[in-house]
Chain A
Amino acid sequence: SAVISQKPSRDICQRGTSLTIQCQVDSQVTMMFWYRQQPGQSLTLIATANQGSEATYESGFVIDKFPISRPNLTFSTLTVSNMSPEDSSIYLCSVSFGQGGYEQYFGPGTRLTVT
């Protein structure tokens, strides 16, 4: 497994502003993932953050709205840009380990409220 930390733990932001969420892992991992969990919903994958290349976004998510950085094998950031109240969610980063099937572990999450 891994120890994953996220900052900030929570934030309240005004619409139209941007927030950058940081994810730090205590060991090197090839791939990191960013998820969103809207109120009362399950988790939805936003993108896969690959070290040394562009992030891969899922359908419905675009780089202009959710730019991702992955400067090294232990760190990634997700920015939520030009926020609206619909962006109020829990944002989670995760990492995976293993071969064949990959156990995936989640960070503690960032609770974002947009007013």
Chain B
Amino acid sequence: EDKVVQSPLSLVVHEGDTVTLNCSYEVTNFRSLLWYKQEKKAPTFLFMLTSSGIEKKSGRLSSILDKKELFSILNITATQTGDSAVYLCAVQYGGSQGNLIFGKGTKLSVKP
């Protein structure tokens, strides 16, 4: 059965800390891995990763994919209270435009 597993499920840090969120997957017909930030209802797109070893960066956030070991990490440096959210990892699979299997998410709380 296809699955996406995120760890930890929750994390509490203080402002300025660096955090690493993990996502491992077992999915047939893998196409890409996506990271989202969910603060209220709608997940906000962060990154899409398709190739191993190529880091994607956006400000204080970065992510990398390892297709051999079937995992990805999302790093957030110099965390701020505005980073508090649930971070979702999803794997896209299938034929044409693909569908997504989501992990359960990591709830990040950043304290002042």
Q: Which residues of A contact B (CB under 8 A)?
A: 1, 30-31, 33, 41-45, 48, 58, 90, 92, 96, 98, 100-109, 111
User: Which of chain A's residues has its CB closest to B96's CB?
Assistant: A31
Inter-chain contacts of B88 with A (CB < 8 A): 42-43
Q: List 17 A-B contacts (CB under 8 A).
A: A33-B100, A42-B88, A43-B88, A43-B100, A44-B102, A45-B100, A90-B41, A100-B32, A101-B50, A102-B32, A102-B48, A102-B92, A103-B45, A103-B48, A104-B90, A106-B45, A108-B42
Give the nearest-CB partner of B89 in chain A.
Answer: A42
Q: Which residues does chain A contribute within 8 Å of B31, judged by CB atoms?
A: 100-102
- The answer for the CA separation of A42 and B75 in the assembled complex, in Å, is 21
Residues of the B chain whose Cβ atoms lie less than 8 Å from the Cβ of A104? 34, 45, 90, 92, 100
Using Cβ atoms and an 8 Å threshold, which residues of chain B touch A58? 99
User: CB-CB < 8 A to B41: which residues of A?
Assistant: 90, 92, 108-109, 111
State in angstroms the CA–CA spacing of A38 and B16 once bound together: 33
**Which residue in B44, B97, B104 is a CB contact (below 8 Å) of A96?**
B97
Q: In whole Å, how far is B23's beta carbon from the nearest beta carbon of chain A? A: 12
* CB < 8 Å A-B pair total: 66
Q: How far is the CA of A45 from the CA of B97 in the complex (A)?
A: 14
Verify B50–A100 contact, CB threshold 8 A: yes
**Residues of chain A with a CB closer than 8 A to B34's CB:** 103-104
B64 to chain A, nearest CB (A): 15
Q: Are B92 and A101 in contact (CB under 8 A)?
A: yes
Given contacts A1-B45, A45-B99, A108-B41, 18 further A-B contacts (CB under 8 A): A33-B100, A42-B88, A43-B102, A48-B99, A92-B43, A100-B50, A101-B32, A102-B32, A102-B97, A102-B98, A103-B34, A104-B45, A104-B92, A104-B100, A105-B45, A106-B45, A109-B41, A109-B42
- Cα-based distance from A92 to B88 in the complex (angstroms): 15
- B42 & A107 in contact (Cβ 8 Å cutoff): yes
